[in-house]
A and B are shown apart, each in its own frame.
Chain A
Amino acid sequence: MLRAEDVKAYYETRRGPVRALDGVSIALHENEIVGIAGESGCGKSTLVKVLYDNVASPLRLVSGRAVLTRAADDTSVLAASGSIQDRWWRDISFVPQASMSVLNPVVRIGPHFRDSADAAFRQMGRGAFWARVREVLSGLRLGDDVLSAFPHQLSGGMRQRVVIALATFLDPRFILADEPTTALDVVTQKEILTLLVDVQRRMKNSLVIVSHDMAVHYQVTGRLAIMYAGKLVECGPTSGIFREPRHPYTRLLIGALPRIGQRGKLSGISGVPPSLLSPPAGCRFAGRCPNVMDRCRSEEPAVRSVGNRHVVACHLHEPVAEDDS
């Protein structure tokens, strides 16, 4: 399991700390696809950075930690923040957003595989190593010839598939993909996502997909986490969330999706998220919430279960929820 435990992670800026993550907990289990959704700037990439233990100035882990546990039993800690880096590319890997520029422009694709797997190369031997690389490439519908190509000779989609091959060929247990398709055209996006999901099905590892596109989450993720202004506001099985979204923000996000046969205007979300430099007291969504109540502006809602592995942080869903009076 890979989990974030009550993580507070701030960007130190001259104007003060930007509270990009303010008490976020999330757990990723073996063999599942988890989506992370939310508007731009809500802290999705920051959460991925913390989970990947890629916390470097100006980002600072104020409290909490990320923990990677052994596959067999979820209690024995394999690595925690500060040492997850030792597991990089073996147990946990990362697919960045900017596939165009993450490959070394003056080096062919082949050496990229070799470079990130010194230990595996020694262990497997030359023959087995390249056989494995070829196998993964063909799983992503790439021929052997890409190995001798330079990055600029590949299309954007091919490059992103190369990056996915890089992130998966050592069979890591967790793959964190931060907006893996935003740089691509819509058709290629679809193709890449499908391939990514195929890879996950075959390897049975866990895949985290960050995207602000709810349609992507609906299509591929099994579980979904919704973030808003540095907080986790809702998390649960994707089907459950789409069937019955609990948090007003989630409702609005889903409502903003175009549907077949839909008439009239799409309902966007009016207003802007609060500043993370000085977030408001109470619920951070209160300023834009259609169901806002008095206590929302003063009292911060706790994350609580609404059953079926589904949690939400909203005063509408208190255990004594029936306060109709």
Chain B
Amino acid sequence: MRFVAFLLTKLLVYVLIIVIGVTVVFLVPRLLPSGPVEALLARIMAGGGFMEPAQVESMRVSLTQTFGLEGTLWEQYRGFIERVLLAGDFGPSLAMFPTSVNVLIRQALPWTLGLLLTATIIAWILGNVIGVIAGYRKDKAFSKVLELIAVAVYPIPYYILALILIILLAYLWPVFPMSVHVRSAPLSLRFLATVVHNSFLPALSIIIVGVGWWVISMKALSSSVCEEDFVQFARLRRVSDGTIMTRYVARNAILPQITALALMIGGVFNGALITEIIFDYPGLGSLTYMAVMQSDYNLLMGTVTLSIVAVATATLVIDLLYPFFDPRIRYR
């Protein structure tokens, strides 16, 4: 019973967050002095070609219709909510008219998810394992070396690190391509292998930076858990070292990291802007970048809405799962 009440409140909050987020997404472009229609018209005209004022006017009308900018704000809002939230339809892309936003997102999503989910999870596991060892065996030389590496790598600006990787592994010693060649092909083992080969450098760059952060944070968390009475007492009652490190230190120190991972996975749906631009990667980041550069409001709304939903979902999932990780937390 308590769980049902808990679930209902959480779901309510979830829906509320999404509706508020989407409303903001709806309002912001409408607050701008020049609407998307004017922006697009300006771009078409700047692209050369002269148009009669009457032609311009008819184009304006048809664009206004396609963008759902007719009627009062309230009518627009209702139409928008119906279309976006209930039907999941973001309309046509303005930059790649008439391809629909949904199609563009559907094409980019697997790339981003494949790359970022894999890289994020690998980095999380690797970083936390190293972090626990470094935190638990603070005084051992290898802990200090590991931490030193993490601390040295972590502050390197991401794009510099990415460029270094490209120079080393794509240029000086060309084992990986500089950017992604394959776009899409029928699914096959060969295709998958090419994708992995193509995505290796961007993945590596994300993992290196990610691992650095997880090592630093997990080391701090575990060394503070090491000072806890229950770890000291475990030592005094001769619990084996391995058990103390896993069941006592890691098991407690990992709790905040689980939340961080969930939020990060939610954030995966933003794409990785810099990574995707540097490696010319056909994911959501590149898509968002294009949407911004070309004032493609529909596309931008599509990607932003997707990431709002993703982060809200990640938060909901972690709220529901957390009591399994930490028995002290109950459904309330």
Name A's B-contacting residues (CB within 8 A). Answer: 52, 54, 85, 88-89, 93-94, 96, 98, 101-107, 111, 115-116, 118, 150, 152, 166-167
State A225–B236 Cα separation when bound (angstroms).
Answer: 24
State A183–B230 Cα separation when bound (angstroms).
Answer: 16
B residues within 8 A CB of A103?
Answer: 230, 233
Q: Does B56 touch A at the CB level, under 8 Å?
A: no
State A96–B252 Cα separation when bound (angstroms).
Answer: 21
Can you spell out 26 A-B residue pairs with CB atoms less than 8 angstroms apart?
A52-B236, A54-B236, A88-B238, A89-B237, A89-B238, A94-B236, A96-B236, A98-B229, A101-B229, A101-B230, A102-B230, A104-B234, A104-B248, A105-B252, A106-B255, A106-B326, A107-B248, A107-B251, A115-B243, A115-B247, A116-B234, A116-B237, A116-B239, A152-B327, A152-B328, A167-B237
> How many whole Å from A264's CB to the nearest CB in chain B?
42
Residues A116 and B238 in contact, CB atoms below 8 Å apart = yes
A residues within 8 A CB of B238?
Answer: 85, 88-89, 116
Closest to A176 in B: B236
State A57–B239 Cα separation when bound (angstroms).
Answer: 21
Residues B252 and A106 in contact, CB atoms below 8 Å apart = yes
> How many whole Å from A260's CB to the nearest CB in chain B?
38
Residues B237 and A94 in contact, CB atoms below 8 Å apart = yes
State A54–B154 Cα separation when bound (angstroms).
Answer: 38
B residues within 8 A CB of A96?
Answer: 229, 233, 236
Given contacts A88-B236, A93-B237, contact A150 B327 (CB under 8 A): yes
> How many whole Å from B323's CB to the nearest CB in chain A?
11
Residues A115 and B234 in contact, CB atoms below 8 Å apart = yes
* B residues 235-288 in Cβ contact with A at 8 Å: 236-240, 243, 247-248, 251-252, 255
Closest to B325 in A: A106
B residues within 8 A CB of A98?
Answer: 229
State A166–B237 Cα separation when bound (angstroms).
Answer: 9
State A74–B294 Cα separation when bound (angstroms).
Answer: 89
Residues B247 and A104 in contact, CB atoms below 8 Å apart = yes
Q: Does B228 touch A at the CB level, under 8 Å?
A: yes
A residues within 8 A CB of B326?
Answer: 106
State A54–B251 Cα separation when bound (angstroms).
Answer: 25
State A188–B313 Cα separation when bound (angstroms).
Answer: 47
Knowing that A102-B230, A102-B233, A106-B252 touch, tell me 18 more A-B residue pairs with CB under 8 angstroms: A54-B236, A85-B238, A94-B237, A96-B229, A96-B236, A103-B230, A104-B247, A104-B252, A105-B230, A105-B252, A106-B251, A106-B328, A107-B247, A107-B248, A107-B251, A115-B239, A116-B234, A152-B327
> How many whole Å from A202's CB to the nearest CB in chain B?
21
Given contacts A111-B247, A115-B243, A150-B328, contact A88 B229 (CB under 8 A): no
Residues A88 and B237 in contact, CB atoms below 8 Å apart = yes
A residues within 8 A CB of B327?
Answer: 105-106, 150, 152
State A259–B298 Cα separation when bound (angstroms).
Answer: 86
B residues within 8 A CB of A118?
Answer: 240
> How many whole Å from B2's CB to the nearest CB in chain A?
16
Closest to B326 in A: A106
> How many whole Å from B310's CB to the nearest CB in chain A?
28
B residues within 8 A CB of A150?
Answer: 327-328
> How many whole Å from A50's CB to the nearest CB in chain B?
14
B residues within 8 A CB of A89?
Answer: 237-238
B residues within 8 A CB of A54?
Answer: 236
> How many whole Å from A119's CB to the nearest CB in chain B?
9
Closest to A90 in B: B238
State A88–B232 Cα separation when bound (angstroms).
Answer: 14
State A93–B236 Cα separation when bound (angstroms).
Answer: 8
State A152–B233 Cα separation when bound (angstroms).
Answer: 17
Closest to A149 in B: B327
Q: Render B314-331 as a binary contact track against A, CB cut-off 8 A, 1 for contact.
A: 000000000001111000
State A167–B238 Cα separation when bound (angstroms).
Answer: 11
> How many whole Å from A115's CB to the nearest CB in chain B?
5
> How many whole Å from A222's CB to the nearest CB in chain B?
25
